[in-house]
Chains A and B, each alone.
Chain A
């Protein structure tokens, strides 16, 4: 009896409600509160708690239905960042089951199945290995408190704390829940939990919980942040003078492929100016590592690639090798609309402005390294907007190469490499950046005298 999905709610996850949830749940995992930690994970921004999304969606559903939920099954597909706006839709599946979706744009972030006729399984057995967690509690979910009891609200909050603060803890990532809800049978939201199993193939933790809600929680333990290769590692793979002709500017040189490129160039004898936008501490670390061992000059500048300088700055004066690694967090989404493509401005519009400025200021040839993507060779579902933007950037580069006199753009369809953006639980990790990017740098720099 699947009906159409009905819009039942819309919420902007602003700072106020995010901070409230942290206090209410006790889940102050760094990925929720620390911008520097979050910068290296998932969306690159602090993420909203999965249970917070679930509770908001459940409140929307409860506001439209009189039934009492007895079982919640949820899968957390994609993260939502603080400041994002989510849309909640609902579809009735059977007389007593509904599917509720939390979506960000066209990307479904949470799928929540609500059952109103499930028999509550009795798992409240006594075992010594239970640990106890109590959330502060929240008055922000009155529909659920009215229908199932405040203890159920507080128990769900405690589930967030269990995963985020206890097990797997710091590097956790909620995967799914399957919880039976009690109905005004308890006065406290205290929840006991114990680790049932760890699937070491995937670092997937399965926890049993018992209290006003009981059932299972599943969570991944994320791999640690990808460590940037050191200058010593860069020096081990390049010849001391092989990039000596390069006066390089690396836009987006504080992290990931850009940081590695800056170190490889410096290790090969190039003088390097590296830019950062927000990650000052990361940029300073890259700069210090280069400065400690490089005999050539190194500069660190803050520049927003969204806003190329209107007049050529001094640090571009001698540049003959310009690397454009400015990027957004590349996330899977199902968007198609060109007008809403978030990548086009940075990869096409602003890149063109940088090239025009280089042309205007150059007195000698300037080579531009434009990273494209191997995704263009094998389009992957969920990355259409990213692929469209890269394809458009390649076409733009071709046109600019016909028109510009001194600027020569080189496009490289780079393979996926091991960076914070590509790091996550499950799947085979991509190849290290150091070995992957070096052949492209050598090919690019071979043409520079």
Chain B
């Protein structure tokens, strides 16, 4: 799947889960920079992304996510 389409979907998921309609994501954005992106929200974000794209992240993949770009890259690979 096209990375731009994935990014747009991921952005909407972030807005819904974090209850922040004005949030604009970028590849380098990390949890420390976004209000509400704590460990519980992180799980909600990942499970919502998995559901949206019918994929499943492994624990090692999840451990490797340090910014939004990592999540989008992994999603792009899994939906290719």
Instruction: Kindly state whether residue B35 has any CB partner on chain A within 8 Å.
Output: yes
A369 CA to B21 CA, complexed, in Å? 44
Contacts of B33 in A (CB 8 A): 381
Which one of A75, A77, A175, A426 contacts B42 once the chains associate, using CB atoms below 8 Å? A426
- Distance A334 CA – B35 CA, assembled complex (angstroms): 7
For chain B, give the interface size range: 20 to 34
Contact A2 B36 (CB under 8 A): no
Q: How far is the CA of A202 from the CA of B58 in the complex (A)?
A: 11
The answer to whether A382 and B44 touch (CB under 8 A), given A75-B17, A75-B19, A201-B59, is no
Tally of A-B Cβ pairs under 8 angstroms? 56
Some 21 contacts from A to B, beta carbons below 8 A apart, are A75-B17, A75-B19, A77-B19, A77-B40, A77-B41, A99-B19, A108-B36, A175-B40, A175-B43, A199-B47, A201-B59, A202-B43, A204-B47, A220-B40, A381-B31, A381-B32, A381-B37, A382-B36, A424-B39, A425-B40, A427-B42
Residues of B within 8 A of A (CB): 17, 19, 21, 31-44, 47, 59, 62-63
Chain A contact residues, majority secondary structure: loop
A426/B35 contact (C-beta < 8 A), A77-B19, A201-B59 known: no
Q: Would you give the 0/1 interface string for A95-115, flagging 1 where the beta carbon is closer than 8 Å to chain B? A: 000010100000010010000
A residues lining the B interface (CB < 8 Å): 2, 75, 77, 99, 101, 108, 111, 175-176, 199, 201-202, 204, 220, 332, 334, 378-382, 424-428
Chain A residues with CB under 8 Å of B37's CB are 381
- Considering the chains assembled together, what is the distance between the CA atoms of A427 and B34 in angstroms? 16
In whole angstroms, what is the CA distance A77 to B16 when docked? 12
**Partner of B43 from A108, A204, A332 at Cβ < 8 Å:** A204
Taking CB atoms, residues of chain B closer than 8 Å to A378 are: 32
**In angstroms, how far is the closest chain B Cβ from the Cβ of A402?**
33
**Assembled-state Cα–Cα distance A380/B32 (Å):** 4
Set B41, B44, B62: member contacting A201, Cβ < 8 A: B62
